[in-house]
Chain A
Amino acid sequence: MTDVRAGGDADLLASLASSVISRARPDEQVEAYVARGGETEVRVYKGDVEHFVSAQSEGIGIRVIVDGRTGFAYAGTLAADAIEEVLAEARDNVAYGTVDEHAALAIPDGVAVTPQALWSDDLAELATEDKIELAKELERLTVAGDPRIRIDDANYADGWSITATATSTGVDTTSRENGCYVTVSALADEGDETQSGYGYSVGRRPDEIDLDKAATLAVERATRLLGATKPPSGRVDIVLDPMVTASFLSLIGGTLSGEAVVKGRSLFRERIGDQIAAPGMTLVDDPTNPEAYTASETDGEGLATRRNVLVADGTLQQFCHSTYSARRAGATPTGNGVRGGFAGTPGAGAIALSLAPGDLDQEALIAMVDDGVLIQSVTGLHSGVNSVSGDFSAGASGLLVKGGTLAGPVREFTIASTLQRMLLDVAAIGSDIDWLPSNAAGMSLVIRDVTVSGT
């Protein structure tokens, strides 16, 4: 495998993609998505490297549409014989698809790419020893944060990717990006009790990594749960920590997928123009914002990304559309084709969500709550939230709020409501916006009248 750290071979991938689509027959639409990527992961434990992973991958996915029938194939290699086989398989698979008049590849729509600095040479050239040192320093800082703290693991990771997308309908784009992050999982012990806390920091360049922030987060989140009890059941107000809000927004983003809408699986289909969230809530999907962890110049179909206001002042404005979902909905593609890699075809979804932040920091939001819980973390969103029915139930841990100030720690309880109600019950949005390693930004959020189930 060629070493592409210098990144010069976006052109090589583009020419590979072009050569595939140049073979499209007159009755075929052909798309080639070619990707190369790599990652480094360093895990440190007790001052030593526990493992060092250096991984590179490459692959191609080819989509062929003939008379409304779609076939797809992929291979995890760019060897010439494999590409040949992938094209043949994709063509063969076409025969088994059902005719869908809306099936189509993206067509360049004139929206210009917002240029962004998504590649850092500093990161691409960072020496192995420096990566190891970042993880070791993170472990040292975390352990030093509190005498009750020990480490589960401390990690440094980075990744790069270069992709090229070309279609016989005129799309011809490339992307090149890299990024790095550190994470630490800390354990706090007191007597027989152990609590855990997680900290992180992300950056496009190594100098954007904030080790102190990551260490402090992990230490605080683990130690403040020591002595946690199970709270009483009842309906209370909750304050979501930014990490939890980011997960909540990702779920909401899922319900605004154009694909979910056209297939009748969205809670909010046929609700454009309706008040679906509390006044003051403005939800934007904006991959052109360079602060977003998932910022990108083009979407998974090769169209320019753009800023889309999904909810304005509580009113639903539009959905996130791919070429397919837009055609079917009679809407315009919004640059929201999302693709997990070369092994799949694009769906429709949010890429970089954020709420318009409010004016108050978390402390001020807590002061608004008389009887409630600050939710530090949630679990089981994959098992207890149904984005079709809207039922929401999650395991949680956090701190009680009494009379506007933080009280004792609590754990082993659930919070429950519905996604529809939670959006309408948002009482305040924090100013503490944080771009997490997620497709949504976090900030503190106050939600009224949520059921806590504990003792």
Chain B
Amino acid sequence: MRALFARIEAALGFNQGADRIVPPTGFTASATIFASAAMAFLAVFALAFSFATARLAQTWTSALAQTATVRISAPADQAQAQLAQVLEILDQTPGVASARALSEEDQQVLLTPWLGPDVPVDLLPVPQLVEIAQTPDGFDAAGLRLRLQGEVPGAVLDDHSQWRKPMVASAQRMRWVGYVALGLITATAAVIISLAAHAALAANKQVITTLRLVGADDGYIKGAFVRRFTLRAVLGAVFGMLAGLLLVAFVPTKGTVVLTGLAFVGSGWLWPLLIPFICAGVSLLATHFAARSVLENLS
């Protein structure tokens, strides 16, 4: 693996110019590339997770905000009358685009996941449901609730807000968890690269002494190490990002579970391309500070 990395580095011109003063081999080279690749791979997933949860929150917000349900629990002999009354009230309510009484088949479909396919729903005292589609402006839920309460005592308006709000809040918190994970991954990458740079500089004390002997200043020495480590970090990050993207591309996107929606959509696929650049920035800073510290200690 080390030989492979060395060949790739040589092919990419890592050993040109001033960078040649940094010995090309050693465990720090592999460690930097591997750590960057692993962190970039995880970052792709953290990013995909953040985007997935953001989409989920958006879907729940927009889809559920546009719908509401009226539940009618009335004695069998009054059910049809109350249904007709509810539909009439809804027809008169501003902000209601349409209202539709669910058929027995629709209700059967809704209940099957909970009760199983063999339960005769038509024999159960299941309340009648009316599905409401709202206009973009929506309706006055409180006013409608009061009117239904007064005119159709068996009807209860459910605008989904009771369970929609916590779900949206939860999805948004999960998105932040994704961002925090990205932050932690970045910080961890910085720490690992910094440690690798520290180790490499300390292991190359003789190189630094020789360079100083021939008149190299700190900027020259630091620059060579920073460039070498940054290029290695970018190389690792590109590998990790590509591997992450490939895996995300093959994750099934159909289904109802959150994780099965772990994918990038449209221009979202471009975001992971930033990971190698971020990794380069992190590596540059981490190596810069590591080099400064080691060069001060060696003087």
**Do A and B make up one complex?**
no
